[in-house]
Amino acid sequence: VKIAVPKEAASGETRVAMVPKVADKLTKLGVELRVQKGAGDGSRIPDDAYGENTKIAGRAADIYGADVVLAVNSPSPTNLAKMKKGSVLLSFVQAHQNADAVEAMCKAGVTCFAMELVPRITRAQSMDALSSQASAAGYKAALMAASNLERFLPMLTTAAGTIRPAKVLVIGAGVAGLQAIATAKRLGAKVEAYDVRTDTKEQVESLGAEFLVAEGVKAEAEGGYARELTDDEKAKQQEMLTKHVGQADAVITTAAVPGRPAPKIISKAMVDGMKAGSVLVDLGAAGGGNCELTKPGETVKHGSVTILGPTNMAGELAEHASEMYAQNLFNFLSLILIEEDDEGEDDTSKGPKPRKLAINWDDEVLAKSVLTHDGEIVNEAAREALK
Ligand code: NAD
């Protein structure tokens, strides 16, 4: 099987879908691996670090002609058109924001498994790239909050007096939020957290943070995700949060509802009520922002409050984010790369047995994460969104 990894084209993308450690494991399986020249640059991986078993290819055609393409973001329609009918693409796609690419995948007859569709079931945890990238983002969000504050996070008792610990409020206690809480706690802040899924209370408290409750708001939905709130619930949530936002030195928001724009939680009036010099890090920025004043991809000042709207926070931690992502893909590949039948021969001294691509559609992980196959959009939610 030929597997190839392009250089990511999206501006500001620092991650890469393959790292040397994982390349080594793949080539040991007998896979013919190609990485596009310069693909690892943003993650500080020079071409020669991939080792002698990985070929470095210059031309896009040498990459997109492979049996399997591994990418962080969906390739452009032009490059997708170079893919072979029946070949496989593993990548984040976010179909509802990426209609042209999805159309190009269908046209080319590519079987695309979208990493954001991998089900959140125990067996698929090692393939869960949403989680690995959200962990990186949550960690970095807490560091960004800290470094943009002109204050200490921990309590300090010094000869020059006692400094009170900073207050950090984390809104949305999913994977990213929990990592932000843990990181802010390690830095010594006093942390409060809120989520519409009240089940997260226990997880928040186990990290040593205080869980905030908005009476009458409980919005668990299928698969452990949240649902959108009603207007009445939104009002209750705002009322409760306004006071805590006003007391925080840093607010980190991570709220998301799958397939929907980021819920707007922090209004302009709430920012007006924030302490002078405080910081808001909005991880919802890629989905439009959890704060009314967020400008995706920018840092803005509202009075003396700094509002950061990073759209690729995991990319700020490119080395480890790439490493975790590549490992997620390797684990996913193990579902579709099957040893070729060697006609009863069990002599392993000849090295790895070649692998072939085989997709078992009865496998829940494959059936749920496939986006396009055989010229069609097979994921129902994506088909609806792109109608
Ligand atoms: P996400 O990125 O979709 O959302 C982040 C958080 O925002 C969620 O906790 C959500 O409840 C919260 N949120 C949504 N609207 C909100 C609002 N208006 N106000 C406040 N908070 C709001 O979520 P995620 O991090 O991808 O995790 C979703 C769930 O999946 C979690 O329960 C997580 O534990 C679970 N999960 C399970 C597995 C597994 O079992 N393999 C793996 C990863 C995650």
ipTM of this complex: 0.96
- Residue 196: CB within 6 Å of ligand 1? yes
The pLDDT confidence band at residue 350, using thresholds 50, 70 and 90, is low
Residue nearest atom 18 of ligand 1, based on CA coordinates: 263
Residue 29, pLDDT score:
93
Average pLDDT over residues 53-79: 96
Kindly report the protein residue whose alpha carbon is nearest to atom 37 of ligand 1. 120
User: Using 50, 70 and 90 to split pLDDT, how confident is the model at 343?
Assistant: low
Residue 351 has pLDDT above 80, yes or no: no
Q: Residue 367 belongs to what H/E stretch? A: helix 364-369
CB 266 within 8 A of CB 245: yes
The helix-helix angle for 20-28 and 318-333 (nearest 10°) equals 20
Question: Is the C-beta atom of 197 inside 6 A of ligand 1?
Answer: yes
Between these two residues, 221 and 40, which has the higher pLDDT value?
A: 40
pLDDT band at residue 225, thresholds of 50, 70 and 90? confident
Q: Which mutation among 198, 225, 227, 242 tests ligand 1's pocket best, with the greatest number of atoms within 8 A of CB?
A: 225
pTM over 0.90: yes
DSSP 226: B
Contacting residues for 225 by C-beta, under 8 A, at least 6 apart: 257, 258
Q: Is the pLDDT of residue 303 over 90?
A: yes
Compute the average pLDDT of residues 165-184.
Answer: 98
Strand locations in the chain, DSSP E?
A: 2-5, 32-36, 54-57, 68-73, 88-92, 111-114, 156-158, 161-163, 167-171, 190-194, 210-212, 250-253, 279-282, 299-302, 305-308, 337-339, 355-357, 370-373, 376-377
Q: What is the mean pLDDT of residues 53-67?
A: 95
The one-letter amino acid code at 94 reads: Q
Grade residue 222 by pLDDT with cuts at 50, 70 and 90.
confident
Q: What is the reported pLDDT for 353? A: 73
Question: What percentage of the chain carries pLDDT values higher than 70?
Answer: 97
Question: Taking CA 109 as the corner, what is the angle to CA 105 and CA 111, rounded to the nearest 5 degrees?
Answer: 75
Average pLDDT, the chain: 95
- Pocket flag, ligand 1, residue 256 (CB < 6 Å): yes
Q: What pLDDT was estimated at residue 345?
A: 55
Cα 114 to averaged position of ligand 1 atoms, centre (Å)? 18
**Ligand 1 atom with minimal separation from the 219 CA:** 11
pLDDT (mean) for 277-305 = 97
**Catalytic residue numbers?**
120, 125, 128, 131, 225
Q: What is the mean pLDDT of residues 239-266?
A: 94
Whether pLDDT at 243 is above 80: yes
